[in-house]
Amino acid sequence: MPTSQRRRRLVTTTILVALTAGALAAGALAAGAGVAGASQATAARRPLRAVTVQDPLDTGDAIADLRSASVALSSDRRSLTVSARFDEPTDPTSQNWWFGASLPRAGITWGLNTDPTSTDWQYVAELRGDPVMGAYGYVARQVSGEYRLTCRASASFDGASYRVRFPVSCIGGPERLRFTTYGQLYHDSGEGVIGGDYAPAWGEFSRWLALR
């Protein structure tokens, strides 16, 4: 809205003054509504901030071969969604996701680094599978070499991508983060694992994603 109104010529009748004032008031209200509507529309169209990494087909086990992964910040900057794709995705209810005893458990891990001076994973977001529940997820923090649960998360699988969504507060609300992704599943027999793939490569991180 302008800070001052334009000068207008004086009119000689009370009726004309009233009509002009009414018209201006109606116009101002309409203009204000238009600006507000435009601002809301712009906010609704604002794209997510996201960082994506790619990885070549390289493990020989397509159902556990990571091809891409990403982390995205919501437009209100309150939540994060991590996602990943295997070359040949399978449903988290299938036995490759839960039938086995090897550690770490089958699933997808997003290692989250929030400290530019370190290459550690300060936090991890995990997606696991269950024969009844399907995909489930959580976020954990590294404390003295062990990971402790900080938040339960919303996990999903749409037939192509695996996703975990959680509040930024689950990882302490840092200014930025970078990530790497690791995936493995259980062998059909339940003995051992298949995959063991990173995206990007082992020991590498994505570029930084600003969270503020």
pLDDT in tens, 45-70: 444 599 999 998 887 899 999 999 99
Task: Identify the pLDDT of residue 46.
Answer: 47
Task: Identify the pLDDT of residue 48.
Answer: 56
In total, how many domains does the chain have?
2
What's the distance, CA 103 to chain centroid? 27
**Residue-number span of the structural domain to which 29 is assigned:** 10-46
Q: Considering the domain boundaries, does residue 42 fall inside one?
A: yes
Q: Considering the domain boundaries, does residue 4 fall inside one?
A: no
pLDDT in tens, 120-165: 999 999 999 999 999 999 999 999 989 999 999 999 999 999 999 9
Phi, psi angles (nearest 5°) of residue 208: -75, 145
42 and 113 within one domain: no
Q: What is the pTM of this model?
A: 0.77
202 neighbors 111 (Cβ within 8 angstroms): no
55 and 94 within one domain: yes
CATH of the domain at 106: 2.60.40
Q: Considering the domain boundaries, does residue 72 fall inside one?
A: yes
Task: Specify the residue for token string 């116009």.
Answer: 27
79 and 28 within one domain: no
pLDDT in tens, 62-95: 999 999 999 999 999 999 999 999 999 999 999 9
> Which has the minimum average pLDDT: 81-85, 138-142, 174-178, 190-194?
190-194
Fill in the amino acid letter for 181. T
Strand partners, 50: 72
Query: How far apart, in whole angstroms, are the C-alpha atoms of residue 22 and residue 184?
Result: 69
Q: Considering the domain boundaries, does residue 150 fall inside one?
A: yes
Q: Which residue has the higher pLDDT, 6 or 188?
A: 188
95 and 68 within one domain: yes
Q: What percent of the chain has pLDDT over 70?
A: 77
